[in-house]
Structure 1
Amino acid sequence: MDKNEDSGSPEQRGPVLARMRLDEVAAGAAAAVVRDIPAYRDRTEAAVRTELAALLGPAVEALRDGREPEPGEVAAFEEFGALRAEQGIGLEPLQEAFRLTTRRAFDALYAAARTGTPPAVALELTRDFWAYCDLVSTAVVRGHRTHELERAQAEQEHRTLLLRQLLMGELPPEWLAAAATALGLDRNREYLVLYARPPAGRTVAEVERTLRGHAVALLAEPGADRVVGLAARRPLPSLDLPVGLGPTRPLARLHESLVAARRAARLATAFALDRCVADGELPLHGAVLALPETGAQLVERCFGHTSGARRTTLAHTLDAYLAADGNAEQAGAELFVHPNTLRYRLRAFGAATGLDPARTEDALTVWWALRHLEATGERD
């Protein structure tokens, strides 16, 4: 918007702009804004008129000098947009109010330039007017959006803090009602806690996306490498993710559900169970984790005579056989081997260890050894 020699000097532009009567433009625009835009209905015409006059004043000075807004003026326009956001006026009604005001200002400029104004000056004033309006509009919108983003971030941080305090049992009882409202929870309802850590190759963000459709509130913590959430009911089994579930508890006792969900998640992760696991659902798996020395002894008992690829093959064979409840045909199909091949492996295992996985006690010994290998990452 740099002024050239044909655009008129401040002395030529000044009289035209003075005839615009900014006070009348601001008053007329304020009345229309309050009357026609619902978001402004609770504002007074006087307040809106003062705001618009403050916006139009620097614009007229810049038009008189044929210059772009100065840094201080741009900051003031951004603050204008931020203040509208703080007042609860959305971006769309703010832009509509701006368009309504600029149309009235242009009409006033056009009327003022029709009398005794050189055509070149009038033309350049018109061009500069719209260019300046674009610059002002950009600054106002930027200020509004920045404030909205900062407010959204602050609100999200507040909700995150409330959810963390709720889960940890650190929220004062008198804050429960306000916290429930902020988090969109029913204070009189019980919820269960979901607890998940990202498996190898997956991120906290991916886990959060997976759980989002099953939770009413989520707390993703990349630093702690976990996602914790609240659910109104047990999620569907098709999560394809190890997730621990705590028991349902009222809001004031969610920390109890968190402890249980963390414990269940440890089991689900240790044994690569890509599904929801409720606390107490797998007591034998919990015993395997709690008794690592016993597991190591049973591994030696079952697999001490093998190593490397032979141990891996034997472990897969025994696991498939146990999973098939001792059905050699079904286990062989799972492993893509002939049932007789599988039976041969089982006989060789029995000869080396004296164990028969068809017997209940020996089957439990083998199962425990397999789970210990799984939990310690020594299986494959």
Structure 2
Amino acid sequence: MTASSDEPVPEHRAGIASALSRSSGALSTAAMSRMEIELPWFRELSAEDRSWVGLIVQAGIRGFTGWLLSPPATGAEGSWGHALAGQVFGAAPRELAGVINLQQTVDLIRLSIDVVESNIDRLVPPGDLPAVRAAVMRYAREVAFATAEVYARAAESRGAWDARLEALVVDSVLRSEGDETLLSRASALGWAARDGVAVVLGDVPSARTETDVFEEVRRVAREAGMDALCAAQGERLVVVLGGVDDGLAAARVVCGLFGDGPVVVGPVTSGLDRAHVSARAAGSALRAAPGWPQAPRPVSSDDLLPERALAGDGHARRRLVEEVYRPLLASRGTLESTVSAYLAAGGSTEAAGRALFVHPNTVRYRLRQVVGLTGLDPTVPREGFTLQIALVLGRQSPRTESSTFVGNDQKTP
């Protein structure tokens, strides 16, 4: 045999393997002792987890003796490495992959190999030392590949589980199932349970996979200081954002990751358990959005109240009546009649003044009052349209004693 040979002389393999097998306990003990000294993270493990690590080390050393006795054929290392993953790591529970990260496992393997190399001189005949050292390196490489496979499978399994859990959380939000179970599931996904939650809806982009889109949404949201949960329901992409102060500003952060078409954001709610309110408004707005082709992107669900009401959304109808029509009517009817006359006159203050028998400046003054009262400016076409729909819905709604006036002074029972 020469020093460049990759394997020990065949007749020596059994003796070398036997010597290593008899010394496996001592080698494992030496490796564990060095871990206690050189690896701070190992000292912080529980006694149970350290014992599992010890079993992995012993299994790895025993695996090397099997390698020497029956080395894999050239080109067969990949399939052998697949079996090695089960042989070395099969003794430990799967949960250990969540306790020891990949870098720590690499440190563990490196130290164990170093221990074997340090003691191999007294276990192997001098003539076989170069070949055995080469075999150790080859074996260490296969163990490293097996380690990567274990962690890759764990990550894949964890990713699949997280994806299912995330979809379940988002579905619970859409179904108005906000409870402690929802919060605990979201926490398992890294949700910080902060106040300020808004739901953003739009189309799924066609050019990218869902996984890529979700990862990018989480990344940009995280950079903006927000949490994000994502799910795709058919062609609709649902993004739940946490830590939101301004719903539209938050939606702009992720808007570019949606597909073509409208992107709507619901109102900001107090927490994830109330996010269904935002989701309901956003869902209604997305269905009604085609009614306003010029809508900005993203658009607030509140800005689509007229289209939502026309599409049959009872919540939108009530809001327009309670927040726009009734306050106008409560001003002794003058603002309601002024807005109605102004809109009927095509936006002419002079024509509205003639219809009301008042000076045009009085009409202008009342219109400014409307802005202060409702936040809607009748002179802006889009906001005038919202006022017009509110007037129609208000007149169709049941009248109440507190908010209905006849003429300028008299209430109706």
TM class by smaller structure:
0.5 to 0.7
Structure 2 counterpart of 1:49, one-letter code: G
Partner of 1:150: 157
Partner of 1:249: 269
Structure 2 counterpart of 1:56, one-letter code: I
Tell me if 1:104 matches 2:124. Answer: no
CA-CA distance at 1:176 after TM superposition: 4.4
CA-CA distance at 1:78 after TM superposition: 5.3
| 2:112 partner SS | helix
Tell me if 1:13 matches 2:35. Answer: no
Tell me if 1:264 matches 2:270. Answer: no
Please say which of residues 13-22 and 135-144 is displaced more in the overlay: 13-22
Instruction: Give matches, 1:1-380, under 5 Å.
Output: 7-9=8-10, 11-20=11-20, 21-41=23-43, 42-44=45-47, 46-67=51-72, 70=80, 72-77=83-88, 79=90, 83=94, 85-113=96-124, 117=125, 119=127, 121-171=128-178, 173-185=179-191, 187=193, 189-198=195-204, 209=216, 212-213=220-221, 216-221=227-232, 223-231=234-242, 232=244, 233-236=246-249, 239=255, 242-250=262-270, 251-270=272-291, 271=293, 273-286=295-308
8 A contact 2:56–2:92 mirrored in 1:
no
| 2:123 partner SS | helix
Percent sequence identity over aligned pairs:
18
Please say which of residues 263-272 and 152-161 is displaced more in the overlay: 263-272
Structure 2 unaligned blocks of 5 or more: 313-346, 349-377, 387-413
CA distance, structure 2, for counterparts of residue 170 and residue 59 of structure 1: 54
CA distance, structure 2, for counterparts of residue 190 and residue 109 of structure 1: 62
CA-CA distance at 1:153 after TM superposition: 2.6
CA distance, structure 2, for counterparts of residue 36 and residue 264 of structure 1: 60
8 A contact 1:204–1:221 mirrored in 2:
no
CA distance, structure 2, for counterparts of residue 124 and residue 136 of structure 1: 18
| 2:231 partner SS | strand
Structure 2 counterpart of 1:162, one-letter code: V
CA-CA distance at 1:17 after TM superposition: 4.2
CA-CA distance at 1:126 after TM superposition: 2.1
Structure 2 counterpart of 1:260, one-letter code: A
CA distance, structure 2, for counterparts of residue 216 and residue 229 of structure 1: 8
Aligned residues: 288
Q: Note the alpha carbon deviations across 1:34-85, whole angstroms, 9 max, x for none.
A: 3322332224465533331122112113213444675644432354687474
- Provide closer, same or farther for how the CA distance between residues 204 and 100 of structure 1 changes in structure 2, counting only shifts above 3 A: closer
| 1:218 partner SS | strand
Structure 2 counterpart of 1:216, one-letter code: D
RMSD of the alignment, in Å? Answer: 3.9
CA distance, structure 2, for counterparts of residue 97 and residue 210 of structure 1: 36
Q: Note the alpha carbon deviations across 1:246-278, whole angstroms, 9 max, x for none.
A: 223343332222121112223445515342322
Structure 1 unaligned blocks of 5 or more: 291-324, 327-359, 369-380
Give the TM-score, by structure 1 length: 0.62
Structure 2 counterpart of 1:75, one-letter code: G
| 1:229 partner SS | strand
Structure 2 counterpart of 1:30, one-letter code: M
8 A contact 2:13–2:69 mirrored in 1:
yes
